Structure formats: structure tokens, C-alpha cells
Structure 1
Amino acid sequence: MASDVESTPLVGRADLVATVRAALLDEVAPGNTAAVFLTGESGVGKTRLLHEIGDRLRDGGALVLTGSCLDIGDASPLHPLRQALRRLDSDLAPPAVASVRALSAVFAAEGTGPDGAGALLERVSRGLSVIAGGRPVALVLDDLQWVDRTTRQLLLYLLAGLGDLQLSVLAAVRAESLQGAHPLRRVLTELRRLRSVRVLDLAPLDRAATEQLAAAVVRQPLTPEAAERLWRRSGGNPFVVEELSRDLRDGRDGLSDTLREVFLARVDALPRPAHRAVHAVAAGVEPVEHWLLAQVVGLPEQELLDPVRAAVSHRLLVSSDDGYRLRHRLVAEVLADELLPAERALLHRRYAEALTAVPGELHQARLAHHWRLAGEPERALPAAVAAAQEAERLYGYAEAHRHWSVAVELAEGLPGVDRTALLGHAAEAAHHCGEYARALSLLEELAGADAGLPVCELHIRRARYLAAAGRSALAEAEYQHALEVADCTDRQRATAAARLAELLLHLGRYADAGQRAREALALAEQADGATTEVVLASMALGFSEAFGQDPEAGLAVLRRALETAERAGRPEDVALAYLHLAELLTGPLNILEEGVVVARRGAERVTELGLGRSYGTRLLAIATNGLFRVGQWAEAEKVVAAALRHRPSGADAVELLLARCRLSVGYGDAEAADRDLDAVATMLAGGGARHVIPLLTLRAGIAMWQGRHDVARHAVQRGLTETRSDDLVILAVLVWHGLRAEAEAHASRTVAVDANAVRRLREIADRVAGRSERAAQPVRDVVDGYLALCAAEVSRLDGADPELWARAAAEWDHRNHPYPAAYSRLRQAEALLARRRRPATAGKLLRQAYQSAQALGAVPLTEEIRTLAGRARIPLEERAARPSTPTAAGGDELTVLTAREREVLAAVAEGLTNKEIGQRLFISERTIGVHVSHIFDKLHVRTRVQATAIFLHSRR
């Protein structure tokens, strides 16, 4: 099971290679010996490591002898050393060849003389000393489990220090071959006691390294689904990973013949009872308890111990306190094809009968699984329903959805079963776990089944699912239909009105949301048990009031709504309360630090409640936006990476992708930003202003950095004509981008300024200013900041006014928003230089802007600052005299880097490519390139080697 050592990169073993090299070369005193024995299952990468470490030892000046043991026992004494000498003969210079041949002649002698084996070992030792010529000798041996007796004696002789040479031994051993009284097993046990000997058990790759290796074989990153399946099937075994990845790359389904034969050979080598035990575990739900396996196999528990021990020793099973697992789930796939259908059904029936007979609480999920595969759906269905209900009680909505879906499938064709009720449960569970398309599909199947579901209830559920999927316009229409249906009860009307208020809130229509919230609260007073409706309506009303004239009152309403939701304990209510509170703090009220804390705390809480994929993702997107605005971009990237692990969909994915896109635009990664915005546009069928306006604003921002000012203008005009919103902040941002696009067009002289567009944008800015006077003070403060930018951009069209830019910078400094503050200082300096006034002040402003942009990693802004400074001959930083080599740099040089840049530099120092670093950090390859360029600039280096030298020096 050794993979091609040259075909794929070595991943996940850099630290191990460095450790072993040091143990065998750097830490060995002259005249001493050392040894490292690598043990591990077949395919775990031992042979590849021998080649890699052997090359490192050779580069370090050692004479490296490499050989492999044969699976023929003592019939070929000293074969690995003979093989090593033959390989060495072809590589040495002529003077040394004679010494090699003289040593080889020792092996050809018919006898060893009167001193027997001891004399042979001494002569071999002396011969190796002559060949080494004073250099350290490294003996690298593969498949040591097959070592012959004479070679084994030679190793012990040399490691005991009886030979006159500095020797290191590196050997690989298949762990599953060391069974029973294997002589090497006893030898390794003794050698472990020596300080100069290390026995390292080589573990499989972790998940990140597994995905990295697979991506190298497939030649592109894997989709999350493919990566999950590969990890589950391979268990991190590099050989298995490579084989499965090649099948994936070449479009082959199923298992390769190579993998199938490898695993079958290992299973067939087991004693018969162990063979049966492995088949039984492969059919079970892991972990399989010892008592359960005994009943399925049909052996007393005591008699089962020896077969299981054999399977564990052969590295097919893993034993733990809670039971037995297959080391590779791939074994289950292989063995499934080896059993007859009747044999498989019999195994599952034995499992189900054993689980049913055990006293105490039933394992419903496992029971449903085994009865279903035993071909008895009528016995599987009650267990599947019970498992789904149990999962819902524990807020495991993803598991509940899976069990309800199984129940729906089992109910097909069974007489007397109400399948429509199962469809309803399955749809609701799908909605809660973020499978929105599946929820809508199940709901439509339920509607078409003539289940007698009230029309009002159908409209409400369809609206909820559509809103979660990001199809806001259709959702709003469905809620309106629900309110108009004659058969609606007071409770249902309260529900429809409350949820419509919540939807309007997300669309930025705060006045409409407040009106619907009041209507919902009035209806809820007439209905019993309408706690959810009260919570939803209170949140919408509180948000509306906070956006208007009374932020403190609105904030208090939302905090009370959260307390009410926590007391009631309904997960979706708790999630919505956290969501609205975090949005209010980071949005209209602009209390960013507290808002980020609430959002991250809320994400943890709703994940506990089983809603991490949906509401948890939205809360992390809010945290990302807050961190972006306060300038903590590196931390924002980490939050995005954590949210992406939920694999969100629908409106949840839209929120997160927009948040990530803001970072990409700031970093100047246009390719990543365009990719995210294309994905958002695809998902935004029927989306509202809450998402469409930020989408078009980001489109304009990318286009401006690319010099495509006409594209930016078009995006802004679309935002102004295709949507409507009460959110003055996102409108002000959009207007600023429109005026900035016209100012950039004027400055570049590549596109004519559109006077009509300027006039319209100024009119809208004036309307926003008028409406903001009636808004809460925090809202006015943020709007004023963007209106200051708008006024300053207008001045660029007829001679930029530095005072307007100074006012804008002061506005954003006051709010601790470093990015717009740095941009304003750039423009203020530009205006001063254009008027040939106060060059010293302009230089100071440029340096301040440059430091801020550098700290953020805002590459396009940094480049524009550099360009202006270069034209004006203004130095941006004082560069002290530097040593001639980067290795002489002080250890504090890394303090100029951001936290994310230090992470990237650490990965660069490991020798990873930009693509590999991006896969590790969940960032696009292009963004990694931006970070690397930024690192080079800050450290004043030109190559990765120089940057690595500074990093390593700082670690001393």
C-alpha cells in the first residue's frame, strides 16, 4: 500500500520530518548511534517519509544507505544491506567503489571463519566505516517487519555501539504485521528503553491535511460534500486518500480494484471468528458495543475477545471504551459486496432483535436503521418516528430531518399510516436545519396530497420557508394572502402579521414593520398562548422605534424580547431575538463592540439549540460586518471561516457571502469578490433592498478600484431605481458610491461625468439628510458621516475642498471606523497638494492614511496612497538602515504585521504554496497573494526565503 513517492506532495508531516532529521543527525554526537523506527498501518505514508527524511539526511552530509526487507524470512540474509550497497555502487566516485565491492565480497564468502557470526558483523562494521570516510552513516530500511535474523543481529550490534562509526538507523515497520511472538516485536520493546532510540507510531493525516492531499491529486479544491465523504471513507490514510482522489479526478464511481483487493486481502488474513466479527461491525452502527457484537456474531462475550483482539492487531478494528469501530469505513463498502443480500438482511435482523431485547431505553435511531435494512418497514417506522421526536427534543434538527425523511420513505405503501403528518414534520425539520429547498419541496408535496391542511396555515408555512430561502418578495405576498384568507383564526392572523413585520424589518422597511408589529400585538391579545407572536412583534416594534426617535426604548424592548424568548424556550424565538438585538447594535445604533459580542454569543447559543447552520450563520455574518467596520479584518476573516463550516444556504448564505465580499473588496481581491457577488445574485431571486442594495454597492466598489467607472455608475443607478428601503444608512452608502464614481470618472478623464446622475444623487442625498432629522441620534450620526463623504466627493468635480475632507475624516475618527477615515485623509491630502497648500500637512495626512491602510491590509487604498505620495515625492515611512541579510533582523520585526499576516507568514515558512495556505485558512488563493505581497512590503524583502528567515529568527 505504498503510494508513488514522487507523484504527490508530502502534506501534514513537516514537523515530523524535522524532528526525525534532528534526532538522527543534529543530536547525535560523533561516535554515537541513534535510531528511529516508524510504525503504522499499511498506506499511512511510511515509505514516503523514508524517502523524504533520507534526502534531508543526505543533504546534511550523511552517507545514506537505503534498502528493503523481503517477505521471505531468513532465506536472504543481509539482503537490505546488500541492496543498499548495490545502489550505492552506482552513485559513488571510482575511489570509493573498491571499498564497496570489498564489503560486498564479504557477503559472498562461503563461511565466516572460526569466529562465526560475530566476525561477520565486525567486518561489516569496519567496511561501513571505510566507505563512510568519516561521515555519519544513515541506514534507511523499509518493511522491517520482514527483516532476516542476520540483519536484525547487525542492527543490534551497531546500535549497541560495538561498531566503530557514527550510525543512524531509520526504519519503517507495518504495525499490523507484528502479531503474537514476532521477533521484531520483542526487539522494539527492548529498544524503546534506550534513550538513543525512538519508536514513533505514525498516525493518519488530520482532516485539513487530507483535504490538502486530495486537492493536489484532483488538481483543484474539493467541494465540502466531496471533502466530507473522502474524509469519512479514508480515515486520513494517505494511500487510500490518493486512490479515492484519483477516482474522483477521473470520474470513476465505486472503488478501484486496487483498494478492494488490498482490504479484502487484509480481511481474508484474519482467523475465521475474527473475519465474522469484522463483517458484523461493518454492518453495524458504530460504535458497536462488545455485548451487542457478541449477540450478533453468536459467541459468548468471553470467547469473542480473541477474535476481536486479532482484528484490532491487524488494524481493521479500533477498540475504545464505548465499543468497536472500523479503522476505515471503506472496509464496510468492500465487505458489503462480499455478502449475499440474505446474509446482510440476517445481520441487520440480529442487530434489531438484540437492541429490542436489551432492557432500558431503546436505541431508536439504530433500531430504525436495522429494521429498515432487514426488510421490515412496518417495524422500522415507529422507531424512525421516535428517533425524530427524540432529536427534536434535543434540538438536533438536522438529525430530525433525516429521521422524518426516512419515516416518509418507510410509510410509502404501508396501510393505515398517515403519511401526510410525516411530510409536515419532515418539512418543518428541513426548514429548521437550513435545507430550505427541501422544505419547500416537501410542503408542496403535502399541499398536493389533499391532507386537509388549512389554507391559511399553508400560506404561513410557505412564506416562512420562502423568506428563509431569500425569496423575500414571494414570502411577503404569501403573508398577505394568509391575512386575507377567510378561514384564518386570530392566532394565525397574529402569526402572519408578526412574521410579516419581521420580514419587513429584514427588508429595511422599518415604518411598515412597526405598523404590522402593532397589528400583530393587538391580534395576539385576543389569542391564547401566542408567546411566539408577541416575541416576534415586540422585536419588530422595538427595532422600528430604535431606528426612529427612541433608541433606548427600542433597545429595552429587544432585550425584554430576548428574556421572554429564553424563558419560553422555543429555539427559533431565541435565535430571532439574538439576531435582531445584534443587528440593532451593529446597525442603526452603531454600538459595534457590544454588537459583535452579542452576535458571537448568540451564534454559540443558537448552535446549541440546533440552529447553527441558519441563524448561527447570520449572527456570525453580523459579527463579521461589525469587525470589518472597526478595522479588525483579520478577526473578521476567522469568523467567516467559522461560519462557512456550517455550509449555509438561502438567505443565510447571502448574508455571509456579502460580509466576506466586503473583506475581499477591501483587500482588493476582485476575483473573489466577483465570485461571491455572482453567487449572491443567483440566490437573490425576489430579494429585497436589504440584500440588493449592498450587492450593488459592492459591485460599484469593485468597479471603481478597477477603473470601470461607468460600470460603477450603472450599479448605483440600479440600486436607486429597482428597490425601496427605509434604511437611511445603506441608502447613504449607495449615494456616496455613486458620487464617488462620478468624481473618479472626472479625475481619470476616461469616462465623461453624467451631470444628470450627479444631480439626481445630490437630490437623494438631500432627501436622506431630511429624513435622518427624524431618525434616532445614532442613525443620524452614521448618516452624517456618509453625507460628509458625499459632499466632499461633489467638491472633487469642481476643485476638491480639503476642509470638507477634513470634516469627513473627523466624522469617521469619532466613530472609530478606520477605513473611511483613511480614505478621507487621502483625499484631503490630494486636495491640499492640488492647491499647492501646506505640503507638510499633506505629507502627515498621507502617512497617517498609509499606516491605517497598511494595518488593515487594504491593498487598493494603499496603492493609491503610494501613487499620490510618489508623485508628490513624499516619503511614507522612515526607513532605518537595514542589515545586508534578512537573518540579521531583530525579533520584533513581526510587530508591523497584522494577526492574519503573521498566520500567512507562518504558513509560508512551512513551505506551503498560496493555494495550500488558502485551503488551510479558508481564503481564496488570490487573497493570500495579496497578504504575501503586503508582508514583503512591510518586512522590506523580495522573496519568500527572506521572509521565512525573518520569521524563523523571530522565533528564537
Structure 2
Amino acid sequence: MNGTAAALGEGLVGRATELAAITAFLDAASTGESGTLLVTGDAGVGKTVLVQQACRTTGSAPWIFTGAALPLASMTVPFLALRSAFRNAPGMDGVAHLLHGVSGASRPDVPVMIDAWLEDVCARRPVALVIDDLHWADVSTLDVLMYLIAGPSDRRLAIIATVRNGELGDGHPLVRWLADIRRLPRVVWLALGPLDRIDTGVQLAGLLGAPPHQSLVQEVFTHTAGNAYLNKLVVAGVQPDSRHLPAGLPDDLKAALLRSWTLLSPPAQALTQLLAVAGRPLRARDLDAVMAAKDGTPAALPLLHEGSNAGILDCGPDATHWWFHHPLIAEALLQRLDGDARKHWHAAFAALHEDSLAGAHEPDFQDLAALAEHHHFAGHVQEAYVWALRAATAAGNAGGTAEMVRLLRRALTLRVQLPDASETFEDLWSRLRTATAESGAQTEELEAVEALLALIDGGARPLDAAELLVRRTLLRHATGRAFMDLEDTRAAVRLAAVAPDSWQYALALAESAHAGLWHGSPGAAEQAGEALKVAVAANHPRALSYALTANAMAALDDDRAQDCQELAGQAVTAAAQSRDFWAYVHATLWRANATASWTSQRYADLMRAGRAQLLALGAPHAYVAKLAADEASSYLVIGRWRECAEALRAAHGSDPGVMADVDSRLTGARLAALQGRTAEAEAHLARADELYAAKAEFLNLGFDATRAEVCLAAGKPAAAYAAALDGATAAGMQPTMCEWLIPLAARALADLVSRDRDEGLPPARHLALLNGLVQRFPQVLQEAGDTSEEYQHQLAALNLLYDAEVGRAKDGGNYARTWRDAADALHLVSFRWEETYACWRGAEALLLHAHAHRTEAAALLRRGLDLAVELQATPLKEQLADLAARARIDTTTPAVPDISGQWPDLTPREREILGYVIAGRTYSEIAQALVISEKTVSSHISNLLRKSGATNRLDLSRLATRRAGAAQRPPDG
């Protein structure tokens, strides 16, 4: 569960806006702006929980009187909801007998007396009257509420009621009541909708205890349409690592769905079951036609209205088509029908649809799909196959690629039973491959490619086989099977070499070069150049894009960043022209790599721009999600965690595919670890491990650095050291986040050394490991190809962090200056998380080893605490606050002294800045306060040091403080 979800509590995922609205409503009422709020929504969307949470968190501390109406079928109890609300209310003696009497009679003076009593209570303290399930309220309760709602506008009374959709049939007393209060002032309506797909995933993470598979999220969301209560029921008993829901619905879920259905008349029950078999919205006359064969069957329309009044059915916007209020109701009803009955009705619907499609020039693909479904479930193999292929074609023409994939899979399954079918298996698999590529279903596309490779004779059709081998390499990479497999691409080159002028040969050369560059193979750059010549000659945009990107990668390896940018930019254009979105993402990443370090704002912005362009091109979500995941990782490393969370949310707006899912989970694990949600971090990392089997091979993902960071957050330094060392010593090119590996390894060893000393154990073994680390890695690791000044500054900052950790472990002298220098360097490169950590360690070092430096320690503590609060880095915030408390240091920001009448040799700006230095403010704080750059602050402080003769800021502050004190003392004599 993410931070927002945890703050809101279970059942309130995704309700921050609504919670704020109700809280604001309560707070306004507490100031004398009385009002009424009706919270409406389907059963199970969380109305009651939301209102309860708002009442608990409001700052106005009202008396909260909560009552609930009950669905009493056999009798009506007057004032039932008010009785429960006011049961223990103060001063109710005068009217209690009216509410709790046994006669059941409703007296006209009850509303007046309750209103007078509430007037007195509201004068003493704000009141919130909450009535749950107002749709079941008796008329007497509604009369009282109407009187209260129409009462004075300036008393401190908030009335909140929850109303369930689907409970208000014709003639329901609440229908007229709601129509009446709509005309009254100060009545507000809040419609509570279902959760979206992303918040459904967040809720499932809380319910299952671990981040769920995206396939499971998609299935649950498809079934429940985001209903929070149904989400909870549908995953009851599901394991956290499940990829799919089990067959059938849980008994509790079926009971909840069909509670209202069991109250329908038998004919209405039968009709709704028939509609469930239909599987789609239908008109009343369609249902009449299907039921016509049965004698004595009543007309469908009155039965449909009965289902609507019970909240089972809805009439669509066209006022003619009927369907279930919730999709799970149809599934639950289908499970109540035996197999023979279902087959019979499916055959009847198939006949109906065939009649309706007879003579249609261009049937709607939904009609075709429905017909294919009915034939399939009726057991009509030949008809189901034929109509599935027709429906798949229509779905593709209408842009319904996901539906096309489903129908083609159905056709492939049926084809096995039809030996005389005219379509070959290769035809069907080729169609499925095209459909999966267009929908971004990479796992399914890989399956189709594998099937085609098994069917095609590479000797007879070498170019087709070569192209399939290249695509298999990319898809195996995308789905975590293998990292840029050299074997397949080299085999593709050998096959396509029979046609050296072909685009397939250019493509095979390009991807063989791409894989070779990742693996450090000799001759890969030359092969990329050859691929580009062939692609240009073949004039094939798809092959050209891959060849250009391979050459861009080679250029960056050769420190030719400008060439890389130009080549990758051309590759992006060619990929867009060919609508090859893998190529588009690939080229976009390399163009960004040549433009800025991935650990920068600029890189994140490039990813965001690329994501927007992909959306404009109509790319499948798997590719959009990949850029969103990379955007998130860049925002995270520079401390822009809110933008990071937003990008992660965009990635998971639909199933992101395996590649983007892993990438985003690693970022999610880091964010959770840094903000103190260790269990969530470990769960994200575990899911990433599960999705990508060969983790160490995937050099473009920071598995090992993330694992080390999560282990440190979980208090497992030995595991953190092992993970960091694994990443640092892996064969091949350095992995993403390699720069963090050695500082993290040193931090883990420093923690182990500190633990040894705390427990009275000799730290020799861990110090020996540290010495070995320093000897083997005197500097942090760095990626090849990035020679930018920005990247060099980042390396310098991380090297300072590394040195400071080594000093902490060896405990040799005063290393506080190294921590302070590291904090300043990390600040300049916007590594906010590491800067916060360095502030803590620097303040700790100053207090432990340089007791005279309390002023500087206090400045570091304030700086670190400000950062920790902004980053919501709870563990570091607690460490900094604890250190300040133990050292008895006030971390509130000291006032800036006025020294305008002193230091006549200084300019007004220099005196102004000197005041901030005396107050212990950092460069950043001074720059923000004076609205100038940190570079300008540094220049002024250099002038101050020169004019005063001080050696550093601390000496300058002491000198200035002494002068100020001397100026305030009276003269001798």
C-alpha cells in the first residue's frame, strides 16, 4: 500500500479528495454554516467508511450522533435511525419518550421538540448527525430530518446521510423526499463512484499483504468495476502471488450480489438469468423473441422494470437496452444455471443473432462477437470458428485489438477440431501475432512468434525466420526471459545473409550489433555501421530505426554524444513512421542518454515528453508505461517523489506489461524503502524478482542497488553488502545505478562495524572487508559513455559519500568535514535523499568527535530535518530528531540578527548575508530567503571571508558574533 493509502486507512484507497470535502463540510458547519450532505453511491463503494473516517479526522471536534436505518421487511419502526443516533445523547430526557415509545404512533410535535433540543446542544458544541442507509429510513425519520434541514442556517449543525443507489424503486418514500430537499439551500450532494484500476491495485496490495500481479489487478477490476467491497470479497483466499482469480465466485460474494435478486418474482428471476446468458445489453423485444418458444411466458418489459426497481438491472442511455447494474451479477446468475439450460439458451440466442445479421452489409463487431460466443457455448464448433474469425476481423477494423486477440485465440483452439478448415495454423498464428503486437500484449506475442518459428522452415524461408528470431530476442528481453540474447540475433544474421540487400538483413545486423554492444562483443560497432548502410539502401523505416539506434549506442560508447543524439532522433522519426513502438522507446531512451544523465530533471522531462508523444501516436500502453517507469525512476533519484508517484500511477493505469512492471516495481521499492515502508519495499522487490527470472543479466535495471537499499532499510546490512557486491562484480557492462553500489557496500560495512562495537565484538572481519573493498574499488563505479560535466559532478558527490562511509567505519579522526562536503556536493547534483542522509551523519560526527561545533551541527540537523520532512523520509526524520533531542539542540530556525549598523566595510547585501551566516543558515536557505542563486551566495561569502580574514563560515560566524557582542557592551569607566 502506498503512503496515501496508508494514511487514509483500509477502505479509503483513492478517496483523499472526497475525504477532504467531507472534512471541510464538517469544519464549515462547526463555524455556524449549517448544512446537509448526502453521500450517494452503489453498495460497497465505501460510503459509510468514508463518512466515519471524516468524522474521526475533523478538527472541529463535534458531538457525533450516528444512527442507521435497517431493512426491516416485516414492520416499520418509527424514528429507528434517530433512536440509535440519540441513544446516549446529553439532555434528551425531554424528548426521549417520543422516540422510544412503544406505540409506534408519529406525533406532529416530535420534529419541533428535537429541533429545539438540537438548537440547545449546538449552542454548546458543534453537532454532526450521521444517518447511514437513509434509503431504509421510515417516514417519521424523514419528517424529522426535513424539519432539521430547513432549520436555521447559522447553527453549528452538520447533517450527513448515506444513500445507496439502486434501492429507490417506483413509489419509494425517499424519492419524493429527495426531490423536496433538492430545492432547499445548503444541501450538498457527493456522488461516490467506484475505484479506478490503479486504486483497485492499491487496495488489493493492502488486502493481500503484497503488491499484486498486474494480471490479477486487471481481472479483479474487470469483474468488480472497482467496487471496494466486492474487491475484498472476490480476492478472499487468493494468494499474494496469484496471477489470476480462481474459477467461480466465492460464496460470500454471490450472496452479496444476489441478495436483491432473491426477492424478485420467479418470472423476473428467470428473465434476469436469461439476460445473463445473453452476455450483453439487449432490448425487451429481443428477450421476447428468445422466450417466444415457451408458452405462457410474460412480456419482458414489466419484468425488466421489476429488476430495475430492485437495483439489479439498468436501462441504458438509449432507453432501450437493458443490462445488469454490476457485471458480477451476471456471472453469479450464470453459475446458478445448469449446463444443459445454458446450452439451450445460448443456441436460442445464436439463432436470434443469425436472423438479425442476415442481409446486414457491415455487421457491428460486437454483434459478430456475441454470435461467436453463443455458438461456442452452445457447442457448435464449426459455426463458432467461422464467426470468431469474422468477429476478429471486424474487431481489428474497429480498433478493438484486445478483443481481436481473444477471438483469434478462440479460433486457434477450435481449429484443432476442424481438420478441413481452409485457414492454416500459420495463417492464424500470423494474425494473432499482428493483433498482439498492435495491443502491446508482449507475452502473447512471444507465444505467437514461438509458434511461427516452429512452423516455418528456416531453410526454405530464411528471411521470415530471421525477422522472427529478431522479434523473439526483443520479446524475450521485454518479458524477462533473457537479456539481449546474442545467439538468436547471430542466427538471424546468418539466415538473412542469403539476401544481403534485404531489410531483414539490415534488421538482423542492427539487433546483433545492439546485443553485442551490451555484451561488449568485439566488432559490434562495425556491424552497426554495416546495418545502417543496408537499411538506407533498402529504404525500410523499421529496419532503419533499429540500425540508427544501434549506431547511436555505438556513438555514445565512443564518447560522441552529439552524434548519438542526432542518430537517435532520426531513429525516433523512422520508428514513428513504421509504427514500431519497441523501436520508438529504444530510440527515445538513447536520445535521452546522450542528452542528459538519467539522474536529472532534464532526463525525466524527456521521458515525459516521449510518453506524451507515444500517447498521441496511439501506442499500446505497455510502451507508454515503459517511458513512464523510466520517468519515475529519474524523478525519484532527484527527490521529486510526488512526480515519481504520479509517473508510477500513469504506468499502472492499465496493465504495463512485464518490462515496465518490473521497472516501476524497482522504483516503487526504492521509494517505499526511503520513506520507511519497508514491508511494501520488500514486497515490490520480491514481485520484480519473480517477474524477471534472470535478474543479474538485465543491465538496464538497478536490481542489485535497489536490493541493497531495501536491505539497509530493513536493518539487514550483511545482505545489503552482498547485493551491492554482486552488482559491482557482475560480468559485462556496468548495470544501471552502478554508481550507488560501492557507497552502499561501504555503508553496509560501516553499519556492521558499528553493530560490532555496540555489541562489544571485535570489528576486525568487517574492517578487513572494508579494506578489501577500498583496495578493489578506490572510486565509485561509472557507466561507460557519459562524460558530461553533470555526470562528473554526480560521481564526485558519490565519491565523497563513499569516503565518508569509509571514515565512519574506520572511526579514524574527525571525518565530519567529509560528511558536510558530501552533503553540499549532493545538494548541487540534486541527490536529495543522499543529502539528507549525509546531513544526519555529518551532524552525528560533529557532535561525537568535535564537540565545539554545535552551531554547525545544529545547522546540519535543521537542514536534514527540512529535507526529511519534504521527502517524507520518515526513518531519516526520526534519526535526525532523535540526535537533536539527545544533543539537546533546538532545531527550530534561529532568527536572523540585524547587523545593519555594524561592519561598515561591507556592502548592504554582504551585511544581509552575514546575518544569515550568523543564524546558521545554509547556502540553499540563504538563496531561497533572498531570492538569489546559490552561486551568488557563495560569491558573497567568499568576499566576506576575504574581508574578515576568517578561514571558513564557522570562523566567520564566530568573529561576527564576537563583534556584535562587543558593540552591545557599555564602554569601560
Same fold judged by TM-score > 0.5? Answer: yes
Q: Tell me which residue corresponds to 2:324.
A: 326
Q: Tell me which residue corresponds to 2:432.
A: 426
Distance verdict in 2 for CA 1:131–1:486, change over 3 Å: closer
**Paired residue secondary structure (2:364):** coil
Write out per-residue CA displacement over residues 434-482 of structure 1, whole angstroms, 9 at most, x where no aligned residue: 6554444444444445677655345333322212122335722221232
Of the three residues 646, 650, 658, the one matched with 1:642 is 650
Q: Tell me which residue corresponds to 1:905.
A: none
Distance verdict in 2 for CA 1:307–1:709, change over 3 Å: closer
Of the three residues 443, 466, 488, the one matched with 1:456 is 466
Conservation of the 8 A alpha-carbon contact between 1:66 and 1:80: no
How does 1:44-63 map onto structure 2 within 5 Å? none
Of the three residues 742, 750, 757, the one matched with 1:735 is 742
Of the three residues 485, 508, 520, the one matched with 2:531 is 520
Q: Distance in 1 between matches of 2:804 and 2:363?
A: 71
Work out whether 1:576 is the aligned partner of 2:581: no
Distance verdict in 2 for CA 1:411–1:701, change over 3 Å: same
Q: Tell me which residue corresponds to 2:832.
A: 818
In the TM superposition, residue 69 of structure 1 has moved relative to its aligned partner by 8.0
Q: Distance in 2 between matches of 1:61 and 1:827?
A: 48
Q: Distance in 1 between matches of 2:749 and 2:228?
A: 56
How does 1:605-616 map onto structure 2 within 5 Å? 605-607=613-615, 611-616=619-624
Conservation of the 8 A alpha-carbon contact between 2:346 and 2:375: no
TM-score (norm 2): 0.69
Q: Tell me which residue corresponds to 1:878.
A: 893
Unaligned runs of 5+ in 1: 1-7, 109-119, 881-956
**Paired residue secondary structure (1:325):** strand
Conservation of the 8 A alpha-carbon contact between 1:24 and 1:168: yes
Moved more, 717-726 or 40-49: 40-49
Conservation of the 8 A alpha-carbon contact between 1:510 and 1:544: no
In the TM superposition, residue 682 of structure 1 has moved relative to its aligned partner by 3.8
Q: Tell me which residue corresponds to 1:411.
A: 415
Q: Distance in 2 between matches of 1:423 and 1:468?
A: 20
Of the three residues 376, 397, 407, the one matched with 1:372 is 376
In the TM superposition, residue 418 of structure 1 has moved relative to its aligned partner by 0.7
Counterpart amino acid of residue 733 in structure 1: W
Write out per-residue CA displacement over residues 537-589 of structure 1, whole angstroms, 9 at most, x where no aligned residue: 212222332343321222122222222322333333333322333344453xx
TM-score (norm 1): 0.70
Q: Tell me which residue corresponds to 2:604.
A: 596
Distance verdict in 2 for CA 1:609–1:509, change over 3 Å: farther
In the TM superposition, residue 763 of structure 1 has moved relative to its aligned partner by 5.1
Conservation of the 8 A alpha-carbon contact between 1:50 and 1:140: no
Conservation of the 8 A alpha-carbon contact between 1:549 and 1:776: no
Of the three residues 674, 679, 686, the one matched with 2:687 is 679
How does 1:710-859 map onto structure 2 within 5 Å? 710-725=718-733, 730-742=737-749, 749=757, 750=763, 752-753=765-766, 755=768, 758=771, 761-762=774-775, 764-765=777-778, 775=787, 779-790=791-802, 797=810, 799=813, 808=822, 811-823=825-837, 836=850, 839=853, 840-841=855-856, 843-859=858-874
Conservation of the 8 A alpha-carbon contact between 1:735 and 1:764: yes
Counterpart amino acid of residue 644 in structure 1: H
How many percent identity over aligned positions?
22
Distance verdict in 2 for CA 1:432–1:44, change over 3 Å: closer
Of the three residues 480, 499, 502, the one matched with 2:490 is 480
Q: Tell me which residue corresponds to 2:703.
A: 695
Q: Tell me which residue corresponds to 1:549.
A: 559
Q: Tell me which residue corresponds to 1:348.
A: 350
Q: Distance in 2 between matches of 1:790 and 1:155?
A: 68
In the TM superposition, residue 390 of structure 1 has moved relative to its aligned partner by 5.9
Aligned length: 842
Conservation of the 8 A alpha-carbon contact between 1:514 and 1:541: yes
**Paired residue secondary structure (1:345):** helix
**Paired residue secondary structure (2:742):** helix
Q: Tell me which residue corresponds to 1:895.
A: none
Distance verdict in 2 for CA 1:624–1:51, change over 3 Å: closer
Q: Distance in 2 between matches of 1:305 and 1:240?
A: 29
Write out per-residue CA displacement over residues 460-506 of structure 1, whole angstroms, 9 at most, x where no aligned residue: 3332221212233572222123223487543333222222334456x
Distance verdict in 2 for CA 1:201–1:276, change over 3 Å: farther
**Paired residue secondary structure (1:724):** coil
**Paired residue secondary structure (1:657):** helix
Write out per-residue CA displacement over residues 811-869 of structure 1, whole angstroms, 9 at most, x where no aligned residue: 54443333444555666666767774972555544544443344333445555655666
Conservation of the 8 A alpha-carbon contact between 2:844 and 2:857: yes
Counterpart amino acid of residue 646 in structure 2: K
Q: Distance in 2 between matches of 1:47 and 1:786?
A: 50
User: How large is the RMSD of aligned CA atoms in angstroms?
Assistant: 5.7
Conservation of the 8 A alpha-carbon contact between 1:427 and 1:442: yes
Conservation of the 8 A alpha-carbon contact between 1:746 and 1:753: yes
**Paired residue secondary structure (2:489):** helix
Q: Distance in 2 between matches of 1:555 and 1:134?
A: 74
In the TM superposition, residue 517 of structure 1 has moved relative to its aligned partner by 1.9
In the TM superposition, residue 724 of structure 1 has moved relative to its aligned partner by 1.7
In the TM superposition, residue 346 of structure 1 has moved relative to its aligned partner by 1.0
Conservation of the 8 A alpha-carbon contact between 1:89 and 1:97: no
In the TM superposition, residue 327 of structure 1 has moved relative to its aligned partner by 0.5
Q: Tell me which residue corresponds to 2:477.
A: 467
Q: Distance in 2 between matches of 1:246 and 1:520?
A: 54
**Paired residue secondary structure (2:314):** strand
Work out whether 1:401 is the aligned partner of 2:405: yes
Of the three residues 524, 530, 540, the one matched with 2:540 is 530
Of the three residues 639, 661, 668, the one matched with 1:631 is 639
Q: Distance in 2 between matches of 1:375 and 1:181?
A: 45
Distance verdict in 2 for CA 1:423–1:37, change over 3 Å: closer
In the TM superposition, residue 623 of structure 1 has moved relative to its aligned partner by 0.9
Moved more, 363-372 or 400-409: 363-372
In the TM superposition, residue 535 of structure 1 has moved relative to its aligned partner by 0.9
Distance verdict in 2 for CA 1:535–1:879, change over 3 Å: same
**Paired residue secondary structure (1:722):** coil
Q: Distance in 1 between matches of 2:55 and 2:888?
A: 54
In the TM superposition, residue 640 of structure 1 has moved relative to its aligned partner by 2.0
Distance verdict in 2 for CA 1:554–1:387, change over 3 Å: farther
Conservation of the 8 A alpha-carbon contact between 2:77 and 2:104: no
**Paired residue secondary structure (1:603):** helix
Q: Distance in 2 between matches of 1:94 and 1:659?
A: 57
Write out per-residue CA displacement over residues 303-325 of structure 1, whole angstroms, 9 at most, x where no aligned residue: 98766555444433323335443
Distance verdict in 2 for CA 1:9–1:648, change over 3 Å: closer
Write out per-residue CA displacement over residues 136-175 of structure 1, whole angstroms, 9 at most, x where no aligned residue: 9989797877968x999999999999xxxx9999998887
**Paired residue secondary structure (2:315):** strand
Unaligned runs of 5+ in 2: 1-9, 240-244, 294-298, 758-762, 896-973
